[in-house]
Structure 1
Amino acid sequence: MSQTYGSESDLEKSIRTGPAYLEGLATPFNSQDWIDEEWTGTLDIRGQRRFRIRYYGELFEGLIVGTEDAPQLVYGEDEFTGELFLLFDGCSHGYNAMLCDEYNDEQRNRKAALTYRDEDGEELFEIRATAYYNIDWDDEFGEEVDEEGRLALISGQKIPFEIAKRNGFDAIGIVAINSKGNQTEILQEELA
């Protein structure tokens, strides 16, 4: 059965991909409600949808923020195996981290040693991430892409241009939903 779309924008929303590092780890959430520059996904690993949140950073007004030493780092942790799934690394993800801000090895190698607990005292959550894409990468960087289709980042690393566009979002938000259905925004970051 073929699917019919009301406009090209509907088709684009139905096939839009979010951050490349979340591919295979997050399933799109309510894509019909996305605004044009938005992608939202729910962490979903082999059907498991509840995770601990491990992080590096500080809590400020309920949000995980960076410290004086380094940007925040956030993982979802499998409650049974302890396996970590990267949700956001302020040293690597987003426009500024990829193209403007430089970080040393110590900053990049920080550990997500803290466990997030919400106001209800819970520490297992459904985790939903939303990335926003308001940058015209083709216009801004198209001429800087090499013959192999790679873009040089500020770190000197070269990555495929399509991956740069997906991981170079200009804002991100992460929401934790506890067993009672209470939603808490745990990360909100402007990255461009």
Structure 2
Amino acid sequence: MGLFDGFFKKRETIEDSDNGVPGPTFLDGKVKLVENPVKLLSHEWRRQLQLSNHLFKIRYYGVLHEEYKSIIASTDFAAPLVIAIEMGTGKEIVLFDGCKHGYNAMFCYTHTPEQLARKADTYYTDVDGNDAFEIFISTYNGIDYDEEFSKQLNAKGQLELANGEWVNFDTVKRNGFDGIQIRVKSRAGRSSLIISEELA
């Protein structure tokens, strides 16, 4: 879609995706580095979802985009919610909650209890009918939080969100990304972009 084309300078070819950019706290211990990442950006955190298995089913709240039919988009009621379910174990991992994750959700908007409680109950299939995928997540971190917010911290080093919650500043930086893309790859080799959101 080109949402992030030109936003950040592309890095030189590298062996893996460990470029020092911190990723979301809610994915700690659930991802692995991507080898030989193509066009990794200097402000991009990119990883592959990996538990005991590397294949997952996906459930979501949202609607499929009218033009880009592989992409999960917001409804009139709420932003997308995407959950991965590990094949074999059934373990669930929240990949993205548009009502909680990203700069806008944390600093610009508040959400009702009903919006926050929406259910991801639709299973994702690609255009070939595949429903088991490898999952690759990229977050984009172009906001200078130290410059914008460091003077607003409380004595505990916490920053107040739009909903009134006080959160550790490091957690804010990691979960307040300004863009996210999620790609999946089926066992048949088809790659699909399922989430592409600008969040600031």
Q: Structure 1 length normalisation: TM-score?
A: 0.89
- Superposed counterparts of 1:78-93, under 5 Å: 78-93=86-101
* Partner in structure 1 of residue 138 of structure 2: 130
* Partner in structure 2 of residue 190 of structure 1: 198
Letter in 1 for 2:32: T
What RMSD over aligned residues (CA atoms) do the two structures have, in Å? 1.7
Letter in 1 for 2:80: Q
Question: How far apart in 1 are the matches of 2:150 and 2:40?
Answer: 26
Indicate which of 152, 159, 166 corresponds to 1:151: 159
Question: How far apart in 2 are the matches of 1:98 and 1:69?
Answer: 18
Indicate which of 28, 31, 45 corresponds to 2:33: 28
- What are structure 1's unaligned runs of at least 5 residues? 1-12
Q: Quick check: 1:30–1:40 contact (8 Å CA) kept in 2?
A: no
Q: Which structure dedicates a bigger proportion of its chain to helix? A: 1
Q: Quick check: 2:19–2:42 contact (8 Å CA) kept in 1?
A: no
Question: How far apart in 1 are the matches of 2:30 and 2:78?
Answer: 25
Q: Quick check: 2:44–2:139 contact (8 Å CA) kept in 1?
A: yes
Question: How far apart in 2 are the matches of 1:81 and 1:27?
Answer: 19
3-state SS of 1:107 partner? helix
The sequence identity of aligned pairs, in percent, is 39
Matched residues, number? 181
Deviations 1:5-41, CA, capped at 9 Å, x for gaps = xxxxxxxx54432111111111122476532100001
Higher mean C-alpha displacement, 135-144 vs 58-67: 58-67
Indicate which of 71, 75, 80 corresponds to 2:83: 75
